[in-house]
């Protein structure tokens, strides 16, 4: 980069990329609690199972990420599912064996698996 024009071109290209990343209107976010309490309770295999299952099914509208403490350590491993325009769903005491069912019933078909969820979904 030698000129101000080259710098501006790089800036515009970066801004366009950032705009694309911010458009998550149809993306479902799966967030696995990976603080020490979650890891100790088995969150790592849960996270890996979500990543593998989403990749296996080639779900382009689902992202799987991790976070720190969610705040309900006694219910770890915890997984939260965020969908635009819908209430957050919190799954508790998750295991790798439960992941395929969550992916199939909730992420693919839109039906909360109430027996694993806490909050208003269990009523």
Do the domain assignments include residue 11? no
Whether the predicted pLDDT of 73 surpasses 60: yes
Do the domain assignments include residue 10? no
| Closest-CA residue to 100 (of 113, 82, 117, 88) | 113
- pLDDT digits over 13-71, tens only? 776 655 444 555 689 999 999 999 999 999 999 999 999 999 999 998 999 999 999 98
Do the domain assignments include residue 8? no
Q: Tokens at residue 67, please? A: 């976070």
Do the domain assignments include residue 6? no
Do the domain assignments include residue 111? yes
63, 28 in Cβ contact below 8 A? yes
H or E segment and range at residue 30 = strand 28-33
Considering its fold, how many domains does the chain have in total? 1
What's 65's domain CATH number?
A: 3.40.30.10
Question: Degrees (nearest 5) of the Cα angle 37, 41, 47?
Answer: 95
Do the domain assignments include residue 9? no
- pLDDT digits over 99-109, tens only? 999 999 999 99
Q: Tokens at residue 75, please? A: 């219910």
Full-model pTM: 0.77
Domain around 32: 23-122
Q: Please, which residues have CB within 8 angstroms of residue 115's CB and are 6 or more apart in sequence? A: 122
Do the domain assignments include residue 1? no
Do the domain assignments include residue 18? no
Q: What confidence score (pLDDT) does residue 19 get?
A: 47
């Amino acid at each position: 980069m030698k000129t101000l024009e080259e710098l501006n071109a790089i800036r515009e290209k970066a801004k366009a990329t950032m705009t694309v990343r911010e458009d998550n209107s149809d993306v479902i976010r799966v967030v696995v609690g990976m603080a020490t309490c979650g890891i100790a309770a088995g969150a790592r295999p849960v996270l890996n199972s979500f990543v593998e299952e989403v990749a296996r099914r080639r779900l382009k509208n689902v992202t799987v990420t991790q976070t720190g403490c969610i705040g309900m350590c006694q219910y770890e491993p915890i997984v939260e599912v965020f969908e635009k325009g819908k209430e957050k769903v919190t799954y508790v005491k998750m295991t790798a064996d439960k992941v395929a069912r969550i992916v199939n019933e909730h992420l693919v078909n839109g039906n909360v698996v109430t027996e694993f969820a806490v909050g208003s979904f269990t009523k």
